[in-house]
Amino acid sequence: MTFTVLKSIKVLNPKTYFNDISDVVICNDKIFSICKDFKTEVSHQDGQINIYDCNGLTMSPGLIDMRVNIGKTENLTAIQKIAAENGITSMVILPNQTPKLNNPSIIDHIKRQSETPNLTKVNIYGAATKDDHGLEMSEIGLMSEMGAIGFTNGNKSIKNSLVMRRLMSYAAMINRPIIQHAEDEDLSGLNKASTTLINGEMNEGEISTRLGLIGIPSCAEVIIVERDIRLAKLTGASYHVAHISTRDSINVIREAKKIGLKVTCDTAPPYFALNETSLLSYNTAFKLSPPLRKEDDRLAVIEGIQDGTIDAIASDHRARSKDTKAQPFSAASVGASGIETLFLMTLELVHKKIIDLNKAISLLTINPANVLKMEKPSLEKDGLADFIIFDENCHDVINQNNLKTSPTPFDQRKIKGKILGTFINGQLAHINQMLKNRIIK
């Protein structure tokens, strides 16, 4: 047998509220022990022992990224590798891929394709509707049997109220959540209104007027949220709002939670770290969906994270080619990379004393698991060895040229924190040179 010992590492386990410096021993795919002195645990064991001096480092359960666009299914393995390098041990991919994930056979195929022991684990959202118009329901029961853990139209809103009611009713019966990209597409200019096609480009307001860009009113988000909450109350469904970005939407969800509805939401780093003034440069890395909002909305997102209205933080990863971003703002594609900055930007909330480290890790681990009815990740004796090792105080700068996906809205941002190692099923999926230098035996 081979034992891996992480000596004097801070163990952070939000599930059990454990937070202490310990020696952690890994054997095969399990955590063999968490103790004060590893020698008492392995002295009578036969096999090789690899010891890392982890003084000053922290370990936590591996991250769950609950919102990843991979573009094409052929990109899956490459994205899994990048995710592992950035501490993500489990991710959920959206159905807006090529091909679209809207039937049981493709769900089953992707699940089988992704099952590599030392790569990030892949979960799948099934497409809520078969067609882009959102009118024909997919076979959500059969997709659920093949492993789909929730249903969404990904980057598109489920806009038809009757279809949404039916989806919620069926999803409630099979105990799966409906995930919504909340956007009234008529207000946002994504549908043809009379004879004029107006494509919204950024948040509507003084900044959009000054820049001469077509605005998307912030109420386009809350209109859909309010409708859907009424339908969730009617059907008893679990309803989740993705990448929430406005104060009004957060307030509505806060009230829905108070009356006991099964309503949850997540946000993404751009919505708590940036606001619409970033677009004054016309940099297309800031062209996102939802668009960056006003400062008051950004502050509301932070408040929602602090008081628990916002359940989780997701990367909202949607990497784009340089060609589609190197266009005039109106013609440029929407979206940005997120998996390489998810952990770093969430850690920024800790360093700014907005939340503590335990809550930050919870937002990236057990909270997404709760929303999606997955097994809660944990660090316990005999538990599966899916975890990350990081230095929470390592100073660095996010550099677009050093990232494997692009673009990032956080280029040249000063940060503190670094993923040094990722273990999946007890195997090293990623190790940084800084951790390699700490091997003492």
Task: State the catalytic residues.
Answer: 316
- Burial of 36 from C-beta contacts in 10 A (0-12 / 13-18 / 19+): exposed
Query: Which is nearest to 3 in space by CA: 37, 60, 51, 75?
Result: 51
- Asked if residues 152 and 177 have their Cβ atoms less than 8 Å apart, the reply is no
Distance CA 262, CA 231 (A): 11
- Listed in order, strand segments (DSSP E) in 16-170 are 18-27, 30-35, 48-53, 58-61, 63-68, 88-93, 121-127, 148-152
Q: What is the DSSP secondary-structure string of 208-230?
A: HHHHT--EE-THHHHHHHHHHHH
Six token digits for residue 365: 């681990």
Strand, helix or coil at 273? helix
CB atoms within 10 A of CB 262: 17
- Asked if residues 145 and 104 have their Cβ atoms less than 8 Å apart, the reply is yes
Q: What's the one-letter identity of residue 9? A: I
- Asked if residues 66 and 94 have their Cβ atoms less than 8 Å apart, the reply is no
